[in-house]
Amino acid sequence: MGLDEDRAVVRKIRTLLKTHPKGLIITEIAQRLKVNRNSAAKYLEILLFTGQVEVRQIGMAKVYSASQRVSLSGLLQFAQEQILVVDDTGRIIQANDRLLRFWKVTREDLLGETLDRTDVVPLRGLAPFNPGDNAEAERREIAFEHDGRTVQCRLSLIPTVFEDGGNGTTLIFEDVTAEREYERQLADSEERYRAVVEDQTEMIARHRPDGTITFANRAWIRFFGGEEIGGQVDPVFREILPGADGKEPDTPRKNQITQSVLQVRNVQGEERWVEGTHRALRGPNGEIVEYQSVMRDVTEAHERQRELLVKEAAIAASIDGMAIVGADERVEYANRSFATIFGYSAPSEIVGREYFRLAHGDLPTAQVFSEIKNALERDGRWAGEVRCLRRDGRPFTAQISASTVLDGSGAFLCVLLSIVDVTERRQTEEALKRSHENLQETIEFMPDATFIVNRERHVIAWNRSMEKMTGINREEVMGSRDYRRAFTVFGGSFPVLVDLIDLSSEELARAYQGVRRFGEVLYFETWVPSLHGGRGGYLWGKASLLADHDGTLIGAIQTLRDITDWKRAEEAYRKALSRDSTIRRAREQEDTPVNQE
């Protein structure tokens, strides 16, 4: 068989073994290539000697497979790393150009030297593989100083078989300095990031799609509690995150963000409001691998917002007119009552208008508005009663309060206007005043001593006859509850009937004999020794409740009358009747004939 035929058979054997990575025995190779067994064995020995095939002993059989060792020529030709080849004694037999350039040595200076004697620092102390060790490739990390900097290298040691059948070691140096520096910077960056996250006042946590927490900062732990976060489930995530039930959301996005405001319980069991942003973190194939939640406690802000909404609703529903005027003197807000008071059907008809135009061209009202503006600039507030005009020109009386609102730094924010239509109130007060004057005038000229107390027992009327009888002037008791002092002049012989009017008949009978009740009216009369300068006299009085037209109790009235003259006349009349009766009986006896014996 010629040389070309031998090479062809060798190629066929290599190709056959590559398609059978588990290996074949000599008989299987001979049968498949249709050569005799001895020839197949000869070619296999050549391939084994050159390192192109490997053999394993399995029982009595030798199993041949394609060699997994790297071709030295291909390694040196295409590798980007620094490569050095040594034989089994540690003598350098090959080095690529990249290594020579890096260490600034020539090939002639390097080849033939042993590892221990070379000037290449990282080679010292390295030992090649022994031929019979059946060793496998290994990798290690080394560091050395070169040109004033520290170089980080990944060193690979690969068992090598040469074409002549000899064994050696290929050393591959991969410069990983930049990679290690990047890793260090990444670690520093991660540490800084973690430190920043830990120092945040916001509560930050990460968790898997099943809710198990993988990270939580100190703020989160302080709020929700727990020293060890491993295995805990985020207490809010199932309520706020789409897909948290294990199903994908309907419209998944690359960086899905969910925002929430909800009520939770903290570690102390308090109900708090938290606001959060939650981001879905996806893997390369698009599946959600983690959620990141950033939350903050907004309880105070939520409560303030709630109070603001309540106040806003209260202002909107208030029967008092409320308006806010901006720095440009235009109405920024007005509730419905404010609009109605000035004759508008809706607040939108006022908002945006200059507030002094509410005078509707009335000069006196415009002058008052000007006074309000000056007072606000000077004092920050104004209050008073103003005659105003409605949109249709009808006048009304308004009670206006205006105040300037400033922010925390003292800067102007707005003017708050409050207005109440007091037209009917003033008309009612005027009518009541006239009624009171009429009542006072009527009581004033009553001949009997009379006084009136309101429901709170304050004196609201005290006529001249009362002054004359008690010696206490109206000014001393009007508006006070000191009317009992007037009864001290009677020496305790006459009760204050307005104080007894609420007692039952049984209580009156037990405590105040002589006081009689007829319906809701009390009566009492007695001899008062202090009357008429100590000469004594009879005093009569009555008291009754006062109610309005709806039957509501509004006060009580008591009247006192000196009935001494009437009592004396009555006594004289009785005496006269008695004397006449005596005379009549005497005359009747004189006119009766005497029986004669």
* pLDDT band with cut points at 50, 70 and 90 for residue 480: very high
Which one is predicted more confidently, 152 or 69?
Answer: 152
The Cα–Cα gap between 51 and 160 comes to: 9
Give the range among 3-7, 69-73, 243-247 with minimum mean pLDDT. 243-247
Quick: pLDDT tens for 398-433: 889 999 988 888 888 899 889 998 888 887 777 767
Which one is predicted more confidently, 51 or 227?
Answer: 51
Quick: pLDDT tens for 136-161: 788 888 888 888 888 999 888 888 87
In the predicted model, is pLDDT for residue 592 greater than 70? no
End-to-end CA distance of the chain: 218
Q: What is the pLDDT of residue 196?
A: 57
Q: What is the pLDDT of residue 507?
A: 87
**CA proximity to 459, closest of 478, 445, 431:** 478
C-alpha separations of 294 from 49, 226, 278 in Å: 67, 18, 6
Burial class (CB in 10 A: 0-12, 13-18, 19+), 404: middle
Torsion of CA 301, 303, 309, 311, to 10 degrees: -110
Please say whether the beta carbons of 209 and 246 come within 8 A. Answer: yes
Quick: pLDDT tens for 435-447: 667 777 777 778 8
In the predicted model, is pLDDT for residue 309 greater than 80? no
Q: What is the pLDDT of residue 541?
A: 93
Q: What is the pLDDT of residue 382?
A: 92
Please say whether the beta carbons of 420 and 399 come within 8 A. Answer: yes
The Cα–Cα gap between 170 and 70 comes to: 10
In the predicted model, is pLDDT for residue 500 greater than 70? yes
Q: Where are the beta strands (DSSP E) in 80-207?
A: 82-87, 92-95, 138-146, 149-161, 167-175, 203-207
Quick: pLDDT tens for 196-240: 555 567 888 888 887 788 888 888 888 887 665 555 666 665 555
The Cα–Cα gap between 372 and 384 comes to: 9
Domains assigned to the chain = 3-66 (1.10.10.10), 72-180 (3.30.450.20), 200-302 (3.30.450.20), 319-421 (3.30.450.20), 435-568 (3.30.450.20)
Q: What is the pLDDT of residue 302?
A: 80
DSSP secondary structure code for residue 88 in this structure: T
* pLDDT band with cut points at 50, 70 and 90 for residue 246: very low
In the predicted model, is pLDDT for residue 270 greater than 60? yes
Percent of the chain whose predicted confidence (pLDDT) is above 70: 87
Q: What is the pLDDT of residue 73?
A: 55
What average pLDDT does the structure give for the chain?
82
Amino acid at residue number 65 = S
The Cα–Cα gap between 536 and 548 comes to: 39
The Cα–Cα gap between 455 and 551 comes to: 13
Q: How many helices (H) and strands (E) does the chain have?
A: 17, 23
Query: Mean of the pLDDT values across residues 18-46?
Result: 86
Give the range among 5-14, 159-168, 284-293 with minimum mean pLDDT. 159-168
Which one is predicted more confidently, 53 or 560?
Answer: 560
Query: Mean of the pLDDT values across residues 352-362?
Result: 84
Give the range among 390-399, 444-453, 585-594 with minimum mean pLDDT. 585-594
Query: Mean of the pLDDT values across residues 314-341?
Result: 86
Query: Mean of the pLDDT values across residues 95-116?
Result: 86
Within 10 A of 261 (CB to CB), how many other CB atoms are there? 12
In the predicted model, is pLDDT for residue 531 greater than 80? yes
Query: Mean of the pLDDT values across residues 264-292?
Result: 83
In the predicted model, is pLDDT for residue 70 greater than 60? no
